[in-house]
Amino acid sequence: MDASLDSAELYDDHARERLVPEPPKRVAAPERTPFERDRARVVHAASSRRLAAKTQVVGPQSDDFVRNRLTHSLEVAQVARDLSRALGTHPDIAETAALAHDLGHPPFGHNGERVLADLAVECGGFEGNAQTLRLLTRLEAKTVDAEGRSVGLNLTRATLDACSKYPWGPEESTDGKFGVYADDRPVFTWLRKGTEPRRRCLEAQVMDLADDVAYSVHDVEDGVVAGRVDLTRLDAPAVWATLRDWYPLSASDDELDAVLADLRGIGSWPEASYDGSRSSLAALKNLTSDLIGRFCGSVQQATHAAGPGPFVRYAADLVVPASTALEMLVLKGVAAHYVMQAEDRLAVLARQRELLGELVALLAHRGPDALDRAFADDWHAAADDPGRLRVVIDQVASLTDASAVSRWEELRGRRS
């Protein structure tokens, strides 16, 4: 029997509560659980549609095969749902968290995130996960409270908690990652009511693992198809050097060599270079499927072995074997070395940083007449300069790659 069929009974009224109570729907419609409604709200959110035009690794305009933020999120959601179902967690909660996990990312992927983090110091910084919470609880228009203030999509506590990849603020961060800005603390306090500080619910752990699985496997797949990665001719020492530049790592080169050898031992690992043929693409797809199954299977087995469950909320934790984490890290190193830091991309990345910096400056200078109506209203309501800067950051973060460029061109044209 599918364990997830009974999982709804494991989530109490506290988990199902919404910040603003909602009366039952009076229209004739199929009966849906609160968590099914949460999923639908994220799917229909404007921020979800914009992900289709935001960079994942390679810009979405560069090739019609490579992943953008939306296709990546859909794949993360599929992995999260399957793993959640296998564990007996409510699959809609984990899937919704996966669908929402990248909503807060700005134009140009992590490159844009670093720019906005530098520019937003005076208003409390910028972090994609904190921006996701802000979108879900404030910026996306769906529900207002008794005073007429937006509460975003008004998701249930369990779903919002599952979206909290880093359930702490910048002052508690040790690595620059955090999940809430200072002025979003009230809703964060509400959704974290009754939890231990910094501890993530199991559903958030599933979302995070699904993101890692998809990120490690699919970025390599995109690199192969783009002609940047040849899995039959990896320069391991160079990859390990890049890996150490990008991620905290204690494993020796010999240990990493052994991990790569284990991965190459997978029956579907290619013996010939990718050539663009259907048979070559099919072989690559088989490899990605095998890798995802390998990683999720090891986590499922280790989690079940750690205790009887139930594997929901704070009753248990996800167990990721060290060997599995290292295998995913090796694949991330391959993508980082051959794709992210390729020399031909460095100039593009530098131009993106320059453009976003200028765009923030232009919007901050022009003020509300250069902002979309909703953000112009936020500007007028802001109490001080840091508050107005936060509005500008919100506006820029909401843009797609293409709309950031067009908005920059428009404002530069007005200036000249």
Dump pLDDT digits (tens) for 228-250.
999 999 999 999 999 999 998 99
Q: Is the peptide bond before 197 cis (omega within 30 degrees of 0)?
A: no
Domain limits, CATH 1.10.3210.10, in the chain: 3-191
Where is average pLDDT lowest: 16-20, 54-58, 116-120, 156-160?
54-58
Query: Does 65 have pLDDT greater than 60?
Result: no
On average, the pLDDT of the chain sits at: 91
User: What is the CATH topology of the domain spanning 3-191?
Assistant: Hypothetical protein af1432 (1.10.3210)
So what's the pLDDT on residue 3?
Answer: 44
So what's the pLDDT on residue 30?
Answer: 67
Long-range CB contacts (< 8 A, 24+ apart) of 321-324? 323/259, 323/298, 324/294, 324/295, 324/298, 324/299
So what's the pLDDT on residue 67?
Answer: 64
Query: Does 113 have pLDDT greater than 90?
Result: yes
Q: Which residues contact 364 (CB under 8 A, 6 or more apart)?
A: 388, 389, 392
* pTM strictly above 0.75: yes
Q: Which residues contact 3 (CB under 8 A, 6 or more apart)?
A: 85, 86, 87, 88
What are the distances in angstroms from CA 275 to CA 72, 116, 229, 238, 284?
24, 39, 12, 24, 11
Tell me which amino acid residue 401 is. Answer: D
Query: Does 77 have pLDDT greater than 60?
Result: yes
Q: Give 64's pLDDT tier (boundaries 50, 70, 90).
A: very low
So what's the pLDDT on residue 415?
Answer: 56
Q: Give 98's pLDDT tier (boundaries 50, 70, 90).
A: very high
Query: What burial class does residue 71 get, using C-beta atoms within 10 Å of its C-beta: 0-12 exposed, 13-18 middle, 19+ buried?
Result: middle
So what's the pLDDT on residue 226?
Answer: 87
**At 306, is the secondary structure helix, strand, or coil?**
helix
So what's the pLDDT on residue 178?
Answer: 96
So what's the pLDDT on residue 356?
Answer: 96
Q: Which residues contact 126 (CB under 8 A, 6 or more apart)?
A: 106, 113, 116, 117, 119, 120, 393, 397
Mean pLDDT of 119-132: 96
Q: What is the pLDDT of residues 343-365, one digit of tens each?
A: 777 788 899 999 999 999 999 99
So what's the pLDDT on residue 26?
Answer: 64
So what's the pLDDT on residue 346?
Answer: 79
Evaluate whether 150 touches 143 at the Cβ level (below 8 Å).
Answer: yes
So what's the pLDDT on residue 343?
Answer: 74
Query: Does 416 have pLDDT greater than 80?
Result: no
Q: What is the pLDDT of residues 177-215, one digit of tens each?
A: 999 999 999 999 999 999 999 999 999 999 999 999 998
User: Quick one: which of 332, 187, 185 has its CA closest to 247?
Assistant: 332
Query: Does 414 have pLDDT greater than 70?
Result: no
So what's the pLDDT on residue 27?
Answer: 62
- Torsion, CA 98, CA 162, CA 147, CA 393, rounded to 10: -50
Long-range CB contacts (< 8 A, 24+ apart) of 9-17? 10/88, 10/90, 10/310, 10/312, 10/313, 10/315, 11/35, 11/90, 11/93, 11/158, 11/312, 11/313, 14/157, 14/193, 14/194, 15/156, 15/157, 15/158, 15/313, 16/156, 16/157, 16/158, 17/156, 17/157
Q: Which residues contact 87 (CB under 8 A, 6 or more apart)?
A: 3, 202, 206, 300, 303, 304, 309, 311
What is residue 213's DSSP assignment?
Answer: H
Tell me which amino acid residue 318 is. Answer: L
The phi and psi torsions of 24 (rounded to 5 degrees) equal: -60, 145
Mean pLDDT of 286-290: 96
Structure tokens given for 73: 């999120």
So what's the pLDDT on residue 29?
Answer: 62
